Amino acid sequence: MTADRVYNVLFLCTGNSARSILAESILNAEGKGRFKAYSAGSQPKGEVNPHALKELAALGYPATGFRSKSWDEFAEPGAPDMDFIFTVCDSAAGEACPVWIGHPMTAHWGVEDPAAVEGSEAEKARAFAEAARFLKNRIMSFIGLPLNSIDKLALESHLRQIGAMEGASIKQSRAS
């Protein structure tokens, strides 16, 4: 991987309405032109969760122009070649994904679904704020990696470690 190129990153979730949208916006802003983030879902809901857009706006990230779309769009001819693909929900991590051209590096960065939280508006807002914080922490760790000087095995290890950071929806098993 070279320092002078833009890395394409795809965030996957089942519905592509909340976590993957949060991650796409945060990486596009924080990646400062070094990364181009996209998001998609295996079973897109067809609309972006308004709480996700509200949280992005509250944090000062772009909150317009997003749409819930199928991951099939990124497996079609002419789609951007992905360098990295991160699943951000546990169900998408277990699904049979399309075959990705170029064999991008993948990792699971699961975060609990804020859209599944029931309760008051304040409780829902808190869930979205927490999901955005966990995703931002992972993204900031990711963009801090020396992508142009790290070997593939070390990079894969770092990507898995990032997925196990605070807020991981599945606890990583430890080898004895």
| Residues with active-site annotation | 13, 89, 97
Residue 90 C-alpha from the chain's centroid: 12
| Cβ proximity of 17 and 44 under 8 Å | yes
Q: In one letter, which amino acid is 133?
A: R
DSSP-based three-state secondary structure for 166: coil
CA distance 135 to 110: 9
Residue (of 104, 107, 105) closest to 93 by Cα position: 107
Order of strands across the sheet that contains 35-41: 35-41, 7-13, 84-87, 105-108
Beta bridge partners of 56: none
CA distance 112 to 118: 13
Beta bridge partners of 105: 84
Mutual orientation of helices 19-30 and 121-143 as an angle, nearest 10°?
40
